[in-house]
Amino acid sequence: MFTETDVCVSWGATLDGPELYAATQLLDAGERRRAGALRDAGAHRRFVTAHAMLRVLVGRQIDVDPRLLTFTPLGAYGKPELVYSPHRLHVNLASAAERVVCAVTEHGPVGVDVESHSVIADANRFGELDRILLTSAERRQLTETGDRVSSLTRWWVRKEAVLKASGEGLTVEPTTLQMSAPHEAPRLLAWQGRPVPALWMSDLDVGAGYEAAVVVVT
Ligand SMILES: CC(C)(COP(=O)(O)OP(=O)(O)OC[C@H]1O[C@@H](n2cnc3c(N)ncnc32)[C@H](O)[C@@H]1OP(=O)(O)O)[C@@H](O)C(=O)NCCC(=O)NCCS
């Protein structure tokens, strides 16, 4: 049975200054090009921190210099995968505001997501996120919850982690997923138009003001 020891998760604050510079040295030419094209300082820091963190995590796992790893977008929706034969490791990363999260496992496709309460509160000023994200049953549950923003954020990261594990990302509408309530253990209850896949999922505590989740297709 899959347990939390079967997936390696790392999270942290976005780096800055000399630490950010050191992290940049771990990236390959393609990643440095992408980082250099990011004009927003926050997006730049998130990108470099997340990609360096993933390299360190994978490097430790397979005992390889992090700078020698290659990640390539694969599949119809471009989910990046590790290219390092003979190892078959599944990887994923996410970042938001001042947090980055990475996950690595050999047991199946993995998805992670992190989001900040303030970003979700801002995006949901007019309540439009409720409709984009939640099923009608979930919207009813939301009216009963005390903290709308943290509930909505938790639903968001759980659903996006499922969709990132599947590799489809937001090409699939989050409203097709029916999840357990945010105060309950994370569970995918139904997926419109398809059977519910075998998933292992867990919330991640990445500090106050954030929600994060990791999902592995088992
Ligand atoms: C995956 C996706 C949900 C990420 O959304 P986001 O909230 O902006 O960003 P996150 O911080 O959660 O995650 C970003 C990381 O997810 C990973 N990722 C990219 N595509 C992915 C996919 N299809 N499935 C899972 N993970 C993916 C990448 O590592 C990416 O980081 P990078 O851009 O620095 O390389 C979104 O980009 C998406 O829906 N992509 C798939 C559809 C698409 O647009 N494809 C275009 C290429 S064909």
Asked if residues 135 and 115 have their Cβ atoms less than 8 Å apart, the reply is no
Q: Output the residue whose Cα is nearest ligand 1's atom 41.
A: 169
The CA distance from 133 to 15, in Å, is: 30
Q: Output the residue whose Cα is nearest ligand 1's atom 36.
A: 169
The answer, yes or no, to whether any atom of ligand 1 lies below 6 A from the CB of 94, is: yes
The answer, yes or no, to whether any atom of ligand 1 lies below 6 A from the CB of 167, is: yes
Averaged pLDDT of the chain? 95
Q: Which residue has the tokens 């979930």?
A: 138
Q: What is the pLDDT of residue 124?
A: 86
* Residue 200 banded pLDDT, cuts 50, 70, 90: very high
Structure tokens that stand for 18 in this block: 């000399």
Q: What is the pLDDT of residue 96?
A: 98
Angle at 18 between CA 17 and CA 20, to 5 degrees: 70
Domain pair 4-107 / 114-217, same fold: yes
Structure tokens that stand for 65 in this block: 């210099």
**SS3 of residue 212 by DSSP:** strand
The answer, yes or no, to whether any atom of ligand 1 lies below 6 A from the CB of 42, is: no
pTM of the model: 0.96
The answer, yes or no, to whether any atom of ligand 1 lies below 6 A from the CB of 80, is: yes
Asked if residues 133 and 124 have their Cβ atoms less than 8 Å apart, the reply is no
Classify domain 114-217 at the CATH topology level.
Answer: Ribosomal Protein L22; Chain A (3.90.470)
Asked if residues 150 and 117 have their Cβ atoms less than 8 Å apart, the reply is yes
Q: Output the residue whose Cα is nearest ligand 1's atom 33.
A: 47
- pLDDT tens, residue by residue, 96-150: 999 999 999 999 999 999 999 999 999 888 878 999 999 999 999 998 888 899 9
Residue to mutate, 32, 158, 170, 204, ligand 1, most ligand atoms under 8 Å from C-beta:
170
Q: Output the residue whose Cα is nearest ligand 1's atom 4.
A: 169
Span from the CA of 170 to the centroid of ligand 1 (angstroms): 8
Domain ranges of the chain: 4-107, 114-217
- pLDDT tens, residue by residue, 18-70: 999 999 999 999 999 999 999 999 999 999 999 999 999 999 999 999 999 99
The answer, yes or no, to whether any atom of ligand 1 lies below 6 A from the CB of 97, is: no
Q: Give the class (CATH, top level) of 4-107.
A: alpha beta
Asked if residues 216 and 202 have their Cβ atoms less than 8 Å apart, the reply is no
